[in-house]
A and B are shown apart, each in its own frame.
Chain A
Amino acid sequence: MAAVAAPMASKPRGSKAESFVDNKRREDIRFANINSARAVSDAVRTSLGPKGMDKMISTANGEVIITNDGATILNKMEVLQPAAKMLVELSKSQDSAAGDGTTTVVVIAGALLKECQSLLTNGIHPTVISDSLHKACGKAIDILTAMAVPVELTDRDSLVKSASTSLNSKVVSQYSTLLAPLAVDAVLSVIDPEKPEIVDLRDIKIVKKLGGTVDDTHTVKGLVFDKKVSRAAGGPTRVENAKIAVIQFQISPPKTDIEQSIVVSDYTQMDRILKEERNYILGMIKKIKATGCNVLLIQKSILRDAVTDLSLHYLAKAKIMVIKDVERDEIEFVTKTLNCLPIANIEHFRAEKLGHADLVEEASLGDGKILKITGIKDMGRTTSVLVRGSNQLVLDEAERSLHDALCVVRCLVSKRFLIAGGGAPEIELSRQLGAWAKVLHGMEGYCVKSFAEALEVIPYTLAENAGLNPIAIVTELRNKHAQGEINAGINVRKGQITNILEENVVQPLLVSTSAITLATECVRMILKIDDIVTVR
């Protein structure tokens, strides 16, 4: 076994039972960490920006994902090196903090690491570098905030613009004119006037349904389920003036425990058992019917059948529509939307717990069917979005893109400032920090200068991905900014430098600030590591 392990250690890649082998101890651990983290950042670099390319990932279980979303790529890539894993985590935290800019944050971290590498070679102590980065980062946030333009939530145009900036880099970019306003309206509709700063994206439900094209994506005022109505017994599929109950119990005969059993010793008892079963269910259904309820949403149950043939039959006779297998985590959303209370026991089934809607209808969409509940009375602050796509890959990517767009709008709600896109803020930061570095003393000045230079990676990569000459573009950009045009950025569509605010390429301030803070912190952490100890 040892003989097998030895060649494996020398050649870590390509073997089946691969795990991270710490054969880099001889080298400087810090450099090894930086190198592998940079490699990760390199991997996602080409997917940055509106003309970025996609990655195809074929996972271990044979699933294929095509995506442009940094967080998704890194998440699925299964990197092994611990420092590289930190970058993956970095992208995740950007995803939860801002929801967008997951590629940007990793690319910035990669560039910062590269600069740090040369600083370290020049013999600067990691702690000094780390502290300087911290300072530079603080200054950068100040500069960004000064650049930002305040935005009001009533200014729908600006919100739509920033949502479409986020969508433009995705596979579904051609549909950004449809999806961007959709995302804005969805977020705006769930804002609670009492807590105007906070948006809970769980209040927006995205339902995916294969078929059609992305063009057919739309918001539904009400509820959508990717489910069929249970109609084994011929129950109704369309109910007007619906009274809806969300129940968490089952309409099926109670099961005996394993140890217990019903003992029959007489043939007349057999009839009684069957009859009792019928009466038991009938009793439940009569109770339900008595409240005027005509639509039942039944929570999924793993212990017992939610409904049996018999109860479905009775429900159909009572003209009650049944939707079964509602997921447990959907219940909260459903009850909030319907403005009703979940009913956990038949004894608590009362009319005041029901939700009201004008129409509950099963609609057929291409291959499958969906259920729509519309015209809900006193509807909660929720929104449902029905996403369509011609194949599973496009559909999944459309959902991810829409999620990003929703996050962008959410950022704007919690921090109401916009900033230019297209590399403009980064180049401006680079210029101002560069100037600031000159007035600083000692090592700090040197490190801040490196920080400033590292930020140029964003415009550089944007230009490179768009098939432009990166050096010429970045130089021209620097020149424009030196002349005071702080909003000059790369217009990828035209392939030249223009005022990017006029081109409607805007993003929330929160995305940029969070990207820079998170990237800096991650880099500082990597710098401070000087040993890896593997514990088994």
Chain B
Amino acid sequence: SISAQNPDISGDRQSGQDVRTQNVMACQAVSNIVKTSLGPVGLDKMLVDDIGDVTITNDGATILRMLEVEHPAAKVLVELAELQDREVGDGTTSVVIVAAELLKRANDLVRNKIHPTSIISGYRLAMRESCKYIEEKLVTKVEKLGKVPLINCAKTSMSSKLISGDSDFFANLVVEAVLSVKMTNQRGEIKYPIKGINILKAHGQSARDSYLLNGYALNTGRAAQGMPLRVSPAKIACLDFNLQKTKMQLGVQVVVNDPRELEKIRQREADMTKERIEKLLKAGANVILTTKGIDDMALKYFVEAGAIAVRRVRKEDMRHVAKATGATLVTTFADMEGEETFDPAHLGSADEVVEERIADDDVILIKGTKTSSAVSLILRGANDYMLDEMERALHDALCIVKRTLESNTVVAGGGAVESALSVYLEHLATTLGSREQLAIAEFADALLIIPKVLAVNAAKDATELVAKLRAYHHTAQTKADKKHYSSMGLDLVNGTIRNNLEAGVIEPAMSKVKIIQFATEAAITILRIDDMIKLVKDESQGEE
């Protein structure tokens, strides 16, 4: 009835089914890239960027971030992975795979003349039902949370990573680290600020020689060799300014007529810093950390006083140190009278501060901090790539342990939740007499992609395993006495089905819920698009 002519715009416009198919294809391509890295037997990717830096990783979010995807719809998926990384910290690969599968199936439905809006409402219903089902039927409360479930969660998260061989060892390390930074804030809430866990990477020795260190580690050495290696008990001053020769600010000119005056001005410049240092030492400080520099000339005074001075400390580290030791980060010495003084109350304290050698690096360790505890994980490994990947894996595991502690509930891993939901939703779909029925059935099928990919990556017969899995879950949901079957999942090493809850393959429930929510939201966002307008870059400026 109305002509489908394109308006004159400086760019391309596509609409209707073409756009949807194209968007879905782009998402599919993204998902295919990360697909093979899912699960305990997933493989790693080697990424080389434009300056030749190499990253070897198994982490979905990292892979996608490095890809620099350009297609706008595919970008939605990349953002999705980042969102999952931020909100949960793990499950980034799963969320992308599920979203892409949902889209693929939705596109097939649209081709069969189902209106996208019907599919969208179907997906939304399915999502809500899934989350409800997980929370009502599938979760297991971890009462009082002993260490065992925490370690298991960490192990599950690590199982797909490089360090899976030593997952027992690292899981213990991670759980201990998280538990040791536990703190209660003013409102009485218990928090686990995993940012307080400092991860240091050092070359050499094997991964198994990594260890947890009580105390905060600064990745720099003392400023001068003459300083003591160990100070105990330590009074720590945290400074945020230069201890260099005082310079006049811009706009102040020094004009002298007499050469002797010049000498005096130079002397004065040096003395100002000297006075400051004396004030510090007088207040009782014997460890001085600054984010800025310290002149060699100034170092001499610290050496004489037998204090440790450390320069160029990262600001972030400084903040953690200040928090842990109870020190105040001092930006200037000025007081309310307009003079310069240093208040001893600004000093933090720790049992001891020592410099140690780890591999080839000198590291300052602050042990026995007063107000809250800080820990450092020292990672050892053969090369940079391995250390980087270990750090990423540990970050995921730390997040997972934290989430488990916060949410208190876990679900079985290894495709158990997805299969259970799939069976449940399929049944739900048949009870609905509306247009949403088809969409919900497809949603149910789409979830099976997780166990399928898991099995394929492990080189097992996906069809047979998934069929078996579904059979178990069907029994669990229909027979009241077989309820425990609901935690049946894949055993990818032996290629069989087992009770993953008992086998210790568990994940925090919150992670699963978020995966389903985020993936559905992203799929809906892309599905709703039926028009794409791409404007060309305005490059004509320079011509003529």
Contact = CB atoms under 8 A, between A and B. Distances in A.
B334 A78 contact: no
A234 interface: yes
A92 B485 CA distance: 60
A253 B249 CA distance: 11
Contacts of A38: 2-3, 5
Provide the main secondary structure of the chain A interface.
mixed
B433 interface: no
Given A53-B531, A66-B525, A66-B529, A265 B254 contact: yes
B528 A53 contact: yes
A47 B73 CA distance: 18
Contacts of A517: none
Interface in A1-25: 1, 12-14, 16-20
A114 interface: yes
Contacts of A338: none
Contact of A313 (B118, B331, B338, B521): B331
Contacts of B532: 55-58
A266 B254 CA distance: 8
Contacts of A114: 2
A312 B72 CA distance: 43
Contact of B528 (A39, A73, A171): A171
Interface stretch (B91-99, B144-152, B462-470, B534-542): B534-542
Give the contact-size bracket for chain A.
35 or more
A86 to B, nearest CB: 12
B89 to A, nearest CB: 13
Given A78-B11, A278-B334, A17 B3 contact: no
B480 interface: no
Given A261-B251, A265-B255, A310 B267 contact: no
A533 interface: no
B481 interface: no
A110 B241 CA distance: 66
Contacts of A1: 544
B331 A233 contact: yes
Interface centre among A46, A211, A278 (most CB of B within 10 A): A278
B357 to A, nearest CB: 34
A366 B87 CA distance: 8
B7 A45 contact: no
Interface stretch (B194-202, B227-235, B257-265, B424-432): B257-265
B83 A391 contact: yes
Contact of A16 (B241, B246, B338, B536): B536
Contact of A55 (B240, B241, B533): B533
Interface string A251-292: 001011000111111110011011100110010000000000
Given A17-B540, A56-B533, A390-B518, A232 B331 contact: yes
Contact of A270 (B13, B241, B268): B268
Nearest to B14: A56
Contact of B5 (A19, A39, A60, A317): A39
A261 B536 CA distance: 51
A47 B249 CA distance: 60
Contacts of B240: 232, 309
Given A56-B73, A265-B254, A279-B338, A18 B10 contact: yes
Given A45-B2, A391-B83, A51 B117 contact: yes
Nearest to B118: A467
A264 B265 CA distance: 10
Nearest to B1: A460
A262 B252 contact: yes
Contacts of B124: 174
B61 to A, nearest CB: 14
Nearest to A107: B2
B15 interface: yes
Interface in B479-514: none
A329 B544 CA distance: 40
Contact of B529 (A14, A43, A56, A312): A56
Contacts of A36: 7-8
Interface string B320-334: 000000001101101
A279 B340 CA distance: 11
Contact of A42 (B2, B19, B251, B521): B2
A314 interface: yes
A16 B83 contact: no
Interface in B449-473: none
Contact of A39 (B7, B75, B531): B7
Interface string B116-149: 1110000010000000000000000000000000
Interface centre among A19, A20, A56, A270 (most CB of B within 10 A): A56
Contacts of B4: 42
Nearest to B343: A317
Contact of A234 (B116, B254, B329, B528): B329
Contacts of B257: 265
B83 A110 contact: no
Contact of B2 (A110, A266, A309, A310): A110
A274 B116 CA distance: 70
Contacts of B335: 317
A525 to B, nearest CB: 18
A359 interface: no
A39 B265 CA distance: 77
Given A264-B254, A394-B525, A81 B7 contact: yes
Contacts of B86: 211, 366-367
Interface in B311-365: 328-329, 331-332, 334-339
A110 B2 CA distance: 9
A466 interface: yes
Contacts of B254: 263-265
A58 B335 CA distance: 54
A399 interface: no
Contacts of A58: 72, 532-535
A373 interface: no
Contacts of A298: none
A426 B156 CA distance: 60
A400 to B, nearest CB: 15
A248 to B, nearest CB: 24
Nearest to A55: B531
A393 interface: yes
A320 to B, nearest CB: 12
A275 B518 CA distance: 57
A111 B1 CA distance: 11
A206 interface: no
B543 interface: yes
Given A114-B2, A273-B252, A367-B86, A43 B338 contact: no
Given A55-B529, A310-B331, 4 more contacts: A267-B264, A390-B521, A393-B76, A467-B115
Interface of A: 1, 12-14, 16-20, 35-36, 38-40, 42-43, 45-47, 51, 53-61, 64, 66, 68, 73, 76-81, 84, 110-111, 114, 171, 174, 211, 232-234, 253, 255-256, 260-267, 270-271, 273-275, 278-279, 282, 309-310, 312-314, 317-318, 366-367, 390-394, 457, 460, 466-467
11 contacts: A12-B8, A35-B3, A57-B533, A58-B533, A64-B75, A110-B2, A234-B328, A271-B268, A278-B339, A309-B331, A467-B118
The 10 A-B pairs at the shortest CB distance, nearest first, are namely A467-B115, A17-B540, A53-B530, A256-B251, A39-B7, A267-B268, A81-B8, A55-B531, A64-B72, A54-B528
